[in-house]
Structures are given as structure tokens and as C-alpha cells.
């Protein structure tokens, strides 16, 4: 028999609540992503937020896996550069 742990609703964190520093980080990342081109933004969101492989991302965007890899590298470098220039 498999046991499940039950949690009281009073002890569970509110799923809508996030610490203020996480909200600031999320907002800063969203602003940095908006600074990228559409393709780089789409590649990074699919690859790192939705955890798609290069092949899955390529299929969704109708590009080659090589394009996904190069756009990932360029997009990440652009995010690093922008983040270093505008630390929050």
C-alpha cells in the first residue's frame, strides 16, 4: 500500500504569493527578454522555460536545430550583456 502525505491547507503556501525579490527578478527577466528579437525570445522561452529540446523547438518554430542552437547562444549572450549593463 502506498501512503500519501496529507497537508493541512493552513500550512501550504498560497500559490499566488511570491516573495518580492522573485517578483522583481521575474519582471527584470521579462524586460530583458522583450529586448531580444522575436526569434531569439521564442527560442529561449521554448528551450529554457518550457524545457523543449533543440529538435522540439526547431519543429515548433519550423527552423533547423542548428538555428535553434545558434539563436540560443546569441540570445543568452545578449541577456548576459544586458543584465550586466543594467543590474537591478
Go through the domains of the chain in sequence order and give each one's CATH number.
35-85 (1.10.10.10)
Q: Residue 80 carries which DSSP code?
A: H
Which residues in 12-45 are b (16+ Cβ under 10 Å) and which e? eeeeeeeeeeeeeeeeeeeebbeebeeebbbbbe
Indicate if the pLDDT at residue 74 is higher than 80.
yes
State pLDDT tens for residues 5-55: 544 445 555 566 666 666 677 788 888 899 999 999 999 999 998 999 999
Amino acid at each position: 500500500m502506498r501512503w500519501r502525505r496529507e497537508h493541512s491547507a493552513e500550512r501550504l503556501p498560497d500559490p499566488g504569493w511570491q516573495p518580492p525579490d522573485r517578483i522583481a527578478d521575474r519582471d527584470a527577466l521579462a524586460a530583458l527578454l522583450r529586448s531580444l528579437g522575436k526569434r531569439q525570445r521564442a527560442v529561449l522561452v521554448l528551450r529554457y522555460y518550457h524545457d523543449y529540446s533543440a529538435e522540439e523547438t526547431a519543429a515548433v518554430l519550423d527552423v533547423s536545430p542548428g538555428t535553434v542552437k545558434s539563436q540560443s547562444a546569441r540570445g543568452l549572450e545578449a541577456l548576459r550583456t544586458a543584465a550586466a549593463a543594467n543590474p537591478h
